A and B are shown apart, each in its own frame.
Chain A
Amino acid sequence: MTVELFTHFWWLIFPIMWMIFGIVRLVLRSLYDQRKLDLMKTYLAQGKDIPDALRREINR
Chain B
Amino acid sequence: MAFTQLFYSFWWLIFPIGGMLMGVFAMISRHLTRTETLRMIKMYADQGKEPPAALLDVLRSDEDRAYDRDHYRYRRRYRCGRSPWGAVVTFGALAAGFGYFGHYGEGGPTFIALATGFGVAAACMFVLAIIRSLSAPRYGDDRIDDDLKK
Chain A residues, CB < 8 A from B41: 39, 51, 54
Which chain A residues have a beta carbon within 8 Å of chain B's beta carbons? 3, 6-7, 10, 13-14, 17, 21, 24-25, 28, 31-32, 35-36, 38-39, 42-43, 46, 48, 51-54, 56-57, 60
Count of chain B residues near A, Cβ 8 A: 32
C-alpha gap A52/B38 in the complex (Å): 14
Judged by DSSP, the binding face of A is helix
The verdict on A42 contacting B57 (CB below 8 Å), with A3-B6, A21-B20, A21-B23 known, is: no
What's the minimum C-beta distance from A50 to chain B, rounded to whole angstroms? 10
Interface of B is mostly: helix
Kindly identify, within residues 7 to 66 of chain B, every residue whose CB is under 8 Å from any CB belonging to chain A. 9-10, 13, 16-17, 20, 23-24, 27-28, 31, 34-35, 38-39, 41-42, 45-46, 48, 51, 56-57, 59-61, 63-64
Bound Cα distance A41, B119 (Å)? 54
B40 CB, min distance to chain A CBs, angstroms: 10
**B interface residue numbers (CB < 8 A to A):** 2-3, 5-6, 9-10, 13, 16-17, 20, 23-24, 27-28, 31, 34-35, 38-39, 41-42, 45-46, 48, 51, 56-57, 59-61, 63-64
